Amino acid sequence: MGKEVATSRFNKQDFKAYTRRLREETLLLEQWFRSGVFAEDHPRGGFELEAWLVDRNYHPAPLNERFLNLSGDILVVPELARFNVEMNGRPLPLQGDALATMEEELAETWRRCRRIAGSLDCDMLMIGTLPTVGDQDLTLANMSDMERFRALNEQVLRLRRGRPIGLDIQGRQHLRTAHYDVMLEAAATSFQIHLQIGAGQARRFFNASLILSAPMVAACANSPYLFGKDLWDETRIPLFEQAIAVGGYDSPECGAERRVSFGTGFVRDSLYECYEKNLACFPVLLPAVMDEPPQRLAHLRLHNGTIWRWNRPLIGFDTEGRPHLRIEHRVVPAGPTVTDCFANAAFYFGLVQALATRQPPPEDVMDFDTARRNFYAAARNGLRAKVEWLDGRRGNIQDLLLEELLPLARRGLAALGLDPAVGERYLDIVESRVRSGRTGAAWQRAYVERHQCDMATLTAAYLARQESGKPVHEWPL
């Protein structure tokens, strides 16, 4: 979805031509999986951080076009809304001091972006759902000026036959509203963690990513409020799923597939199964036919970008033109600080390495429906969630994190060859956060309860503490 398209207007011939190219590239990809053409290097890590521009009253500031013109950084790009931007990092092999290097890169980008925002009389904020964002902010007038976003909106509404997008989230309070465009998606911002992995290991790592999504979202939750309502610990999950509520094809092989979902099963043989399902189960949204050879998989990759699995397979190319496989772990919200973000990344990299190399394979021990139930329980209830783990025991996810998963992550980081001192520093942050129960979501709720304040006051206090750079478990109320 990062690639711009030439137009937002399409006809039946465009859809036919695009589908023909998509089928051709999917068949080519099948051959690639069979013949083993993918890079098999040491695992590499990367990231994307989605952030908010906020004005001096702590409300969304729709200024990303002016902001990006001043930035001139090719790794800082627009998002769907004019008040969001995305910051990307350069991928690095997961060894030595790679995590500290990536953190410093993001910290420098963040400092530079805050200076630019200040010149526009606004500021930057990283949080899963901005407490002050209102339905009135999520309009087409605040959509970034890009054809791909206009096309996405038009095609989603076409598939919905003009029916409004209903938002119905039952949490501590109940939010129910209707919306008439895709801009609800802009209220959910993430810290997306990328893992490049060899094709021979990708199946195990993808399935492990699904299983660990529950503890990740519980430990990282930072999105309790939307439109003034106290909802899930990670409200971003149901918000995004409902914001792009366009079903797939109605066929037995597709079942209840949705464009934004946890998925419907573990991968059995290879990640090709995801792309095969993309073709079979999801109507084309953006039929932008491109003048690219089949070997670039341009149409397949664009189509995959319009299917937002919480763990999404990606295909890229290195500087020598070799294709590689990545897993995009999308369950983690933005923030609360750069340090928290990389503590979360370290926890993911260590835990996925440990689970993906464990015998017997976790996906042979835990069924997929259990992994999915765990995920939604953790997104709703955070560290208070009750989950079922690999041994079949049902218990509190906070205890599971402290007693089993953090030690596993430590072993996983060591197995990757990452600097033990750096890894320990990050995992100590996650452990302190989990032990104290002070996630970003918990801090926001505690602040509101203590001060009986409105969402603007909460956002001002959150921003002040974010500026300190201290991890969230150290934030005062």
Please give the Cα distance from 330 to 49 (Å, whole number).
11
Q: In this structure, are residues 18 and 289 in contact, taking their beta carbons and an 8 Å threshold?
A: yes
Domain positions in the chain are 12-468
Please give the Cα distance from 211 to 32 (Å, whole number).
27
Per-residue pLDDT of the chain (477 residues; tens, 9 = 90+): 456 677 768 899 999 999 999 999 999 999 999 998 998 989 999 999 999 999 999 999 999 999 999 999 999 999 999 999 999 999 999 999 999 999 999 999 999 999 999 999 999 999 999 999 999 999 999 999 999 899 889 988 888 887 888 999 999 999 999 998 999 999 999 999 999 999 999 999 999 999 999 999 999 999 999 999 999 999 999 999 999 877 666 555 666 678 899 998 999 999 999 999 999 999 999 999 999 999 999 999 999 999 999 999 999 998 888 999 999 999 999 999 999 999 999 999 999 999 999 999 999 999 999 999 999 999 999 999 999 999 899 999 999 999 999 999 999 999 999 999 999 999 999 999 999 999 999 999 999 999 999 999 999 999 999 999 999 999 999
Please give the Cα distance from 1 to 145 (Å, whole number).
15
User: What residue type is assigned to position 167 of the chain?
Assistant: L
User: What residue type is assigned to position 280 of the chain?
Assistant: A
Please give the Cα distance from 387 to 376 (Å, whole number).
10
- Residue 336: name the closest of 63, 69, 52, 95 by CA: 52
Tokens representing 376? 């939604």
Answer whether CATH 3.90.1150.10 is correct for domain 12-468.
Answer: no
**3-state secondary structure string, 308-338?**
EECEEEEEEECCCCCEEEEEEECCCECCCCH
Q: pLDDT value at position 5?
A: 74
Q: pLDDT value at position 461?
A: 98
